[in-house]
Amino acid sequence: MCSLFDTDDHAGIERFLEQVGVRHRERMRYGQRHRPTSRVSIVTNRHGEAEVEDAIWHLYLQRDGDNYRPHKKYWSINSNWRKLPQRPEYRHSRCLIPATAWVESQHGERPVEFNFGLPLFFCGLYKTWDDGRLLSCSIITLSAHERTARYHEKSFPMIAPASRDFCHHWLSNDPDTTVFAPYLTPRIQYAGRTLTVAPLKQATATETLGAPQTVGEEAEPGQ
């Protein structure tokens, strides 16, 4: 379960968004350790072009007077890939979530930071509320990769390949999701780089306890 992620403003995200053809890059919300239920930046195509928009990182909301807040009964910062066929958002409301790193832990212990050293997109879903004036989102999670299960045995975030064509198709309104089936498998390679991992003192810490190491080549946690 991805529960904290970064969008560092020094990591070339604006250029990355420009290469993919995303408009309104000035709306980007930069920061480290974005928390669940906070406002984050997502990319949608709901107005006919890929653009940056604000969203609450919690897919299901509920009305609270004149406002909306995260739904108490449905913890929905992530959307499990096995349930995607049941979600209408997967057919009609897909989004991309810019990121530069993310944090995982095993049962809340031994947190680590994952990183490719490049900006990337999480694949996500979004919903609209208040006649389209408010958006919410979730990150799609896949099964754990065999090389990352030691850090988080349950899941791995779905990361869009470094392909402009894929991003545009993902953001489209095409309800045929069969073309995405090959991508519902965790990958630790991205744009020619292998995923790295570094230990953290605590999940919200922004300083790692050592230099990042390539996943699969590092020592077992605790060694």
pLDDT (0 to 100) of residue 1: 59
Sign of CA dihedral 28, 33, 39, 44: positive
pLDDT (0 to 100) of residue 218: 58
pLDDT (0 to 100) of residue 74: 85
pLDDT (0 to 100) of residue 217: 65
For residues 91 and 125, the answer to whether their CB atoms sit within 8 Å is no
Q: Per-domain residue ranges for the chain?
A: 4-214
For residues 4 and 35, the answer to whether their CB atoms sit within 8 Å is yes
Specify the pairing of strand 134-142 against strand 51-57: parallel
Q: For the chain, list residues with pLDDT below 50.
A: 220-223
pLDDT (0 to 100) of residue 221: 44
Give the Cβ contact number of residue 125 at 10 Å: 25
Give pLDDT tens digits for 95-105.
Answer: 999 999 999 98
| Per CATH, domain 4-214 is 3.40.50.300 | no
pTM: 0.94
For residues 103 and 3, the answer to whether their CB atoms sit within 8 Å is yes
pLDDT (0 to 100) of residue 223: 34
